[in-house]
Amino acid sequence: MLDNTDRVFTPGLFARVQLIGSEPDSALLIDDKAVLTDQDRKYVYVLGADNTAVRKDITLGRIIDGLRVVETGLAAGDQVVVSGVQKIFFPGMPLDAKPQEAAVIANAVASSP
């Protein structure tokens, strides 16, 4: 319950609040630009064996600091294609992958939704 004895909050006002949740939760985060849509499914391309594109269907969560939480579908070591995804026409297509520096957020702490 929120204490409002000084009547600061009145009906009709809106506020953005952040509530303290449960224990911190590890999350796998990716750049939202890497996410593609196929009708009703979301997917990303990852770098596979012999530098080929491998499609992985994923389940997305919320956005944290501009990065998207991946709930299922990716492993911690997967190398996600972020730049040039529009040039991948089919899974198995050969890629000329060049690693890019990214914000290091290996096990970002996110509260449970």
CATH code for the part of the protein at 28-110? 2.40.420.20
DSSP string, 21-58: -SS-EEEEEEEGGG-EEETTEEEEEEE-GGGBEEEEEE
Residues 27 and 56: their CA atoms lie apart, in Å, by 17
Give me the pLDDT at residue 101, please.
65
Residues 58 and 70: their CA atoms lie apart, in Å, by 7
Q: What is the pLDDT of residues 22-70, one digit of tens each?
A: 777 788 889 988 999 988 899 999 999 888 999 999 999 998 888 899 9
Looking only at the bridges linking them, the beta strands covering 25-31 and 67-72 are antiparallel
Question: Quick one: tokens of 55?
Answer: 């499609």
Q: What is the pLDDT of residues 61-102, one digit of tens each?
A: 998 888 899 999 999 889 999 888 888 888 888 888 887 765
How high does pLDDT run on average in the chain? Answer: 82
Query: Domain residues of the chain, as ranges?
Result: 28-110
